[in-house]
Structure 1
Amino acid sequence: MEFIKRNQWITPLLGVLFIFVMSMPFWMDNRTTQEETFTELPMWGTKPVVASASTLEARTNINFVTWNNTHTKKVVKQVKAETVAAQAKVTKAKKIAEQAKIKTAHAKIKAANARSAKAKASSGIVTASSSINHSTPTHLYFTRTELLNQKEKSEATWTYALSSKDRLLLERIVMAEAEGEPYEGKVAVANVVLNRLRSANFPKTIKDVIYQRYQFSPVNNGRFDRVQPNADSVKAVSEALSGHKQVPDDTYYFVSLSLATDDTIERTRTKVVQIGHHTFFK
């Protein structure tokens, strides 16, 4: 006690130590609680805002979802771009392959035509540019009811000047319509075209007769523009122009009954003759 009286500052120190020891449990609990919280740095002039652990977790989840959505959109966009690029490559490859096939087909056709021309030349077969065309008449002579031969031209009531284009059109329509038909059928097809040329009920030029709408199916479906006349077609046209006839002058129609989808001609016209697969009508 004497020591205490001499050193009076000891008493306050002991009081402080006592208070510190007694408050340690409370201080430890408060420290644990503070570790579970997060204090955001305050803006200048504002009070600190304390965020709880649950708030921090919620904000973290929001940030993750935002990042995930953005990342997903980028991935989807990249995948779409890669898909479009791949499709473009496939399309380009297909076009190149198709063009190669077309070139190969054209080369084969050209080679086949060359071989055919060579074979015809060596065997003496007459082609479209041969002497048959040279003997083809340059004028056609008609009366009101018939086509005249060249010797009967003095009896004609009107004359048609025949051009090389007219002859080629006739040869192509005969080829397109009667390629697989007997030779007589080829002449008959040419006869029908010339009969229409003579008639007042049809156009007045060979071109207009052939291209008259809905009259010749090869013209409608495009086959007429693709064919090249063979020797039989050229010869058949030459004979028809010279006055040779397989059907009468009043025969204006023919049809393949086995292939026809419209029976109007068969029902409304008079049958003349059947040659091969074609039936001819007045």
Structure 2
Amino acid sequence: MTQKTILITGAARGIGLATAKLMLSRGWQVAMLDRDVDELAIASEGLAGAVPFICDVSIAEQVEATIPAILQKFDQLDAVVNNAGVAEFGPIEETDFAMWRRVMETNLDGVFLVSQAVVPALKKTRGAIVNIASISGLRASTLRVAYGTSKAAVIQLTKQQAAELGEYGIRANCVCPGPVRTKLAMAVHSQDIIDAYHDAIPLNRYGSETEIGEVIAFLCSEQASYVTGQVIASDGGFESTGVGLPALRK
């Protein structure tokens, strides 16, 4: 059997890197794509079966040049994980159009551009697309007018992809992570914020990058061969609790 290949964007850190390592451990080849040259070099060093590719997914010309280079290296693509994203938060009245566009360019345009570029390759393998959104795309929250809207759009884009590409055997699904214990989150979340999240999440903890990666890996696998058009919140139950007081859960 031909070894399967997965493309992961935003692979230099966090969920993208955790997913890359998981897929490597399961025998896949991995195209690790990121725009951060230095971090990608560090992340990919020593990972047998992984090849780094420098690309800013928000720039159409870079995507158009990078996807053929990946296919030249690996010959085929069996799965694509659109994980690259940026987060800029602020009140609605302080969110200027420049900030709005920065968020949309990577979080939404990037998913669209990469997905469009890989469709011909995925038709050949009857492959899978997994888009990474957020529970901020499922439920509104303060300070996230650009971020939350971009992720809600990714959810809808996923459903469009599933509806149109299913006839070619291409599956498209979306993972919506909740609070994840990343280095960045732990650096900026005060103890009060951490405690508040723990109180609001039924499982009473943050998720890990690998836990999100496990969901992504499942959706890329043959075990999910009849799963498409689905939106899966990997969030410890956070989305299901709405905005009710934690004390009322009992």
Task: Report the TM-score range of the alignment, normalised by the length of the smaller protein.
Answer: under 0.3
Higher relative contact order (CA 8 A, sep 6+): 2
Q: Which has the larger radius of gyration?
A: 1
TM-score in terms of structure 2 length:
0.22
TM-score in terms of structure 1 length:
0.21
Greater helix proportion:
1
